[in-house]
Amino acid sequence: MKVIRTVNELTSITKELKQQQQSIGFVPTMGFLHEGHTTLMDESKKYAEVLIASIFVNPLQFGPNEDFERYPRNEERDLEMAEAHGVDYLFLPTVEEMYPVRSTVTVSVHNRTDVLCGRSRPGHFDGVATVLTKLFHLTKADFAFFGLKDAQQVAVVEGLVDDFNFDTTIIAVPTVREIDGLAKSSRNVYLSEQERDEAVHLYKSLQVGKQLIIDGERNTDMIREKVKNYIYANTSGRIDYVEILAFPSLTETEQLNQQVIIALAVQFSKARLIDNVIVDLQRTLPKASV
């Protein structure tokens, strides 16, 4: 595995790879790697000859009261995990390398952002779209891999690629979970022992909602209330939202005979956790990984 820290070196390498007609898979991360990230890396090997991963904690997607400085980092461990999972080139830029001057142009996302996490994080997905525009350009990726744990991000990125005609195919990979069902996340380390025990009920609450839909319930207000009541009864967390939306358009719907997402965000003392299930009555989605 070769570690790259500058834009110039990365563009030189990807230009050469393209001249050699090698296909490129790309996994963008913010580091503190876990099994969710390495699953994306493993998936890339099924599609592309060369795997490029990036580790960059992007300041543009953090709000003024969010945890940019506190976001967990462990470069030595990340290097070991990336190499163990077949990364060929690991891009590790600094903020100054990615944004050497004040940006003349940034990307503004207009749809799929006024719901779920986007509602309470104005500008977050603008930051995501801006950095990914740069990274897609620099890596020249044929395929880019994203986890469905952050399904809103997947929907926004798919819109970005479609709108700007990137020659990159987005591969959405099912959520990777702990044995007890908790979605793997870098922020799980901030949970207290009691909160970690409680957090398993987030996924269980989503299963309650999913089963209601499968059983024929179509009243979205009632389904949301059942999910919320389960969370209130089994955790000490504060519910940020529980939503049921069409996917990937992320629009409100009363017709639950289409593909929909049940998504939630719950704030614990030092960690805000998100999770979701996609209910696809046509069964065209892959089963989530556990």
In 3D, which of 185, 203, 207, 153 has the Cα closest to residue 271?
Answer: 185
Asked whether 174 and 287 are in contact (CB, 8 A), the reply is yes
The answer to the question of whether 32 is labelled as a binding residue is: yes
Burial class (CB in 10 A: 0-12, 13-18, 19+), 138: buried
> Is 209 flagged in the annotation as binding?
no
45 is in an annotated binding site: no
Does the annotation list 10 as a binding residue? no
Active site residue 37: yes
175 class by beta-carbon count within 10 Å (0-12 exposed, 13-18 middle, 19+ buried): buried
Sheet holding 169-173, edge to edge: 2-4, 89-91, 50-55, 24-29, 143-147, 169-173
Say if residue 33 carries a ligand binding annotation.
yes
Asked whether residue 123 is marked as a ligand-binding residue, the answer is no
Q: Which residue among the candidates 37, 85, 124, 201 is catalytic per the annotation?
A: 37
Query: How many CB atoms lie under 10 A from the CB of residue 187?
Result: 17
Q: Is 35 annotated as a binding residue?
A: yes
**149 carries a ligand binding annotation:** yes
- 31 among the known binding-site residues? yes
How far does the chain reach from its first CA to its final CA, in angstroms?
Answer: 28
186 annotated among ligand-binding-site residues: yes
The answer to whether the peptide bond before residue 248 is cis (omega within 30 degrees of 0) is yes
Q: Which residues are catalytic?
A: 37
Positions at the binding site: 30-37, 61, 147-150, 153, 176, 184-187
